[in-house]
Amino acid sequence: MKQGGALYIEGNDLYRDHRGSDVAPWLPGTFKSDGNGAWLGNIKNLKGYDTSTTAGMYFNFPKWGWTDESPDEIDPLQADVFLESQDRRCRVAGKITDSAKIIASTIVFGAIHTTETSTSLDMLLEIYLTYLTGGD
């Protein structure tokens, strides 16, 4: 990352597991809290952050499933927020530095569900790719 480039990285415990590691300084925002176990349920839906390129987007998420196991909450200070859960907790954030562009997600992209009333995953992916490539 010091040489430049773009990175999309995801994992429920991404922030918790990388505290103090060489990866931590590259992650957008900081670790705020670890999510609950899936039996309690964490994420029912995801929505685009009001002031971001994802504003107005809406997705369903499989609450109580394996992908809902302890998803970290991101403290988005000095980060670009993409998606938050129904409880307004940041779950996907981005950061652009002099040498790198990074999106970190504490939710599994492949687990996001779409319905007739939700946004297309293609639209979300296009926003991610534009952010990471600078539109090139």
**Res 76: pLDDT:** 92
Q: What band does 115 get if pLDDT is binned at 50, 70 and 90?
A: confident
Q: Which residues make beta-bridge pairs with 74? A: 31
Q: What band does 104 get if pLDDT is binned at 50, 70 and 90?
A: very high
Higher pLDDT, 128 or 136: 128
CA torsion angle 88 126 59 42 (round to 10): -50
Q: What percentage of the chain exceeds 90 in pLDDT? A: 43
Helices first, then strands: H and E counts in the chain: 2, 8
* Span 37-64, average pLDDT: 84
pTM for the whole structure: 0.89
Chain mean pLDDT for the chain: 87
